[in-house]
Amino acid sequence: MIKLINLTKDFKTTLAVNRLNLEVAAGEIYGFIGPNGAGKTTTIRMMGGIIEPTDGKILIGGIDMSRDPVGAKKIIGFVPDRPFLYEKLTGMEFLKFIADLYRVDLRVFSRRAPELLERFALWQWKDEIVEAYSHGMKQRLIIAAALLHDPRVMVIDEPMVGLDPEAVRMVRDILKGLARQNVTIFVSTHTLSLAEDLCDRIGVIHKGTLLAQGTVAELNLAAKTGEARLEEVFLTLVREL
């Protein structure tokens, strides 16, 4: 469902992503971990169609992001790492805006928007302008907006930042539920326990290069760390480079 081929991003001063190759199957949850500045967000922003790669290809559901960005974006639910929104719109108005952009059927919207707002505990805030929302509420609103058009692929950068423990559990359950419905999830995170618990496979990126990928057991094998927790595996792999 997601295919990255020789994906490269060169910012001239930094080679942020260097010939990245990976594939994620339908219904799989793929975790993307790495230290600060490893190239996680750059990769995710390229996958979301926000920045252009210097080289390489991104295929989402078989659609080439560079050839048909609109088509590819239609099937993606994108969640950035920082919840910047239109501050002067209310929560409900923001969802309507997104529904119009993604051309969500109006009957579907009128059913789905209240359902999502309820699920993300935002219903009572639906008519307040986003300016008044807390960081966590904005993050929840963005996730709700990303789910509005029933995406086939979710690309999520740091989903749990700013969320309270209850919301973390809620988001984790939602992501697992989506994967069961065959939605592909590509998630970048610093929370290694979350990656360990949530993801089917994990990729470790450092200095723009994919060091290793696989299940936690496969990563342990690559790092020669026995049956260690992901944190130990991660630190070993990163230190080696």
Q: How far is the CB of 147 from other proteins (least distance, A)?
A: 14
Q: Among residues 96 and 201, whose Cβ is nearest to other proteins?
A: 96
Among 5, 15, 51, 121, binds other proteins (CB under 8 A): 51
CB 84 within 8 A of CB 226: no
Regarding 73 and contact with other proteins (CB under 8 A), the answer is yes
Regarding 132 and contact with other proteins (CB under 8 A), the answer is yes
Among 3, 57, 74, 172, binds other proteins (CB under 8 A): 74
Q: How far is the CB of 192 from other proteins (least distance, A)?
A: 26
Regarding 64 and contact with other proteins (CB under 8 A), the answer is no
Strands (E), the chain: 2-10, 15-24, 29-33, 55-60, 63-64, 76-79, 153-157, 184-188, 201-206, 209-214
**Quick one: which segment of 29-37, 80-88, 197-205, 224-232 binds other proteins (CB under 8 A)?**
80-88
Q: How far is the CB of 74 from other proteins (least distance, A)?
A: 4
Integer Cα distance of 161 and 159 in angstroms: 6
3-state secondary structure of 77: strand
3-state helix, strand, coil in the chain (%, to 5): 40, 25, 35
Regarding 119 and contact with other proteins (CB under 8 A), the answer is no
Integer Cα distance of 88 and 11 in angstroms: 33
Integer Cα distance of 206 and 39 in angstroms: 7
No. of helices (H) and no. of strands (E), the chain: 9, 10
Among 9, 40, 96, 201, binds other proteins (CB under 8 A): 96
| DSSP labels, 165-209 | HHHHHHHHHHHHHHHHTT-EEEEE-S-HHHHHHH-SEEEEEETTE
Q: Among residues 101 and 217, whose Cβ is nearest to other proteins?
A: 101
Regarding 103 and contact with other proteins (CB under 8 A), the answer is yes
Among 3, 19, 54, 97, binds other proteins (CB under 8 A): 97
Integer Cα distance of 191 and 122 in angstroms: 25
Among 25, 26, 101, 217, binds other proteins (CB under 8 A): 101
CB 207 within 8 A of CB 237: no
Q: Among residues 24 and 146, whose Cβ is nearest to other proteins?
A: 146
Residue ranges in contact with other proteins by CB under 8 A? 48-52, 69-71, 73-74, 76, 78, 80, 82, 84-89, 93, 96-98, 100-103, 128-129, 131-132
